[in-house]
Amino acid sequence: KELRISSRRRRNYVLRVLYLLLLTTFLAIVWSNIQLTAASYAERAVQMAEAGKQVTLTLLGFQFVVTQVLIVILLSTAISGEISRQTLGVLMTTPLSSMQIVTGKLLSKVTQLALVLCMTLPVLGLLRVLGGVPWNVLGAGTAVTLTATLFAGSLSLWFSIWDRHAHKVIARTLFVLAA
């Protein structure tokens, strides 16, 4: 239910649009800094492969950082919001265990961010076609990003249990992640 409801919220549509705009801007900046000076077709193909590697690594780094920050923000009020709306007691009377409730909240937000990450697949596929980037690098980068996102989300959810203020939860979580 959490996934179905959260995917229809206006804030998630805005999040997707902002992510695409930020990603497009970031990639445009990176691409504009790449120098292609080859005279022959063979040299140009080698330079395009190197440019593909550089853009891919930059894109994977961008995703790694942005998804962690977004999951921390999205889950900063997951449990404390239930407490402040006084719906946690009602939620605990359902046949769901506390583990299922917490897992449902975590996985619904991670799924939302996985959908956001899927928006970059066409760009990664295009970079793969340019050459120089094997599929296992793309898969490994995405797997590392999702694992770090799960960890950051779990940490944010943990701090959300103990503090009602979103800004404090975000600050604590980002501090622990930075440390």
- pLDDT for residue 7: 67
Cβ(57)–Cβ(127) below 8 Å? no
| Closest among 124, 117, 148 to 138, alpha carbons compared | 124
| Closest among 153, 20, 177, 173 to 78, alpha carbons compared | 153
- pLDDT for residue 68: 92
- pLDDT for residue 87: 72
- pLDDT for residue 176: 92
Tokens describing residue 34: 């790449």
pLDDT along the chain (179 residues), means of 10: 68 83 86 76 77 83 91 81 71 78 82 84 78 80 91 90 84 91
- pLDDT for residue 151: 94
- pLDDT for residue 79: 73
- pLDDT for residue 148: 93
Whole-model pTM: value is 0.79
- pLDDT for residue 152: 93
- pLDDT for residue 1: 64
| SS3 per residue for 35-102 | CCCCCCHHHHHHHHHHHHHHHHHHHHHHHHHHHHHHHHHHCCCHHHHHHHCCCHHHHHCCCCCHHHHH
